[in-house]
Amino acid sequence: MAKWKCDQCGTVHRRNPNKCRSCGNTVLSPYHGDEGGSPLDDPRVRYGLIALAVLLVVVLVVALL
Ligand SMILES: [Zn+2]
């Protein structure tokens, strides 16, 4: 289900409102929050990066000892 995003302030609405509830702007664009976003929006990617960072720190500590 498409959401609607205010062109002016970026507020995302679940349904297409007559105007933005945050700023009153009447221009809203279809918004697909779950599609085509940044890879960093995916929690699995974030946890993967954290795991990679931890692994790098461990390797560094082991190498320095
Ligand atoms: Zn707005």
Query: In angstroms, what is the span from residue 56 Cα to ligand 1's centroid?
Result: 42
User: Are residue 26 and residue 45 in the same domain, yes or no?
Assistant: no
User: Are residue 24 and residue 43 in the same domain, yes or no?
Assistant: no
Contact 29, 3 (CB under 8 A): no
- CB neighbours of 7 closer than 8 A, spacing ≥ 6? 25, 27, 28, 29
Residue 5 predicted with pLDDT over 70: yes
Query: In angstroms, what is the span from residue 51 Cα to ligand 1's centroid?
Result: 37
Query: In angstroms, what is the span from residue 12 Cα to ligand 1's centroid?
Result: 8
Percent of the residues in the chain that have a pLDDT greater than 70, as a whole number: 85
Instruction: Give the pTM.
Output: 0.48
Average pLDDT, the chain: 87
Q: What is the pLDDT of residues 26-48, one digit of tens each?
A: 999 998 876 555 666 678 888 99
- Specify the number of domains making up the chain: 2
Residue 17 predicted with pLDDT over 90: no
User: Are residue 23 and residue 44 in the same domain, yes or no?
Assistant: no
User: Are residue 29 and residue 42 in the same domain, yes or no?
Assistant: no
Would you state the structure tokens that stand for residue 17, as one six-digit string? 């409102």
User: Are residue 61 and residue 46 in the same domain, yes or no?
Assistant: yes
Which of the four pLDDT bands, split at 50, 70 and 90, describes residue 16?
confident
Query: In angstroms, what is the span from residue 43 Cα to ligand 1's centroid?
Result: 27
Its domain, for residue 2, covers: 1-33
User: Are residue 28 and residue 43 in the same domain, yes or no?
Assistant: no
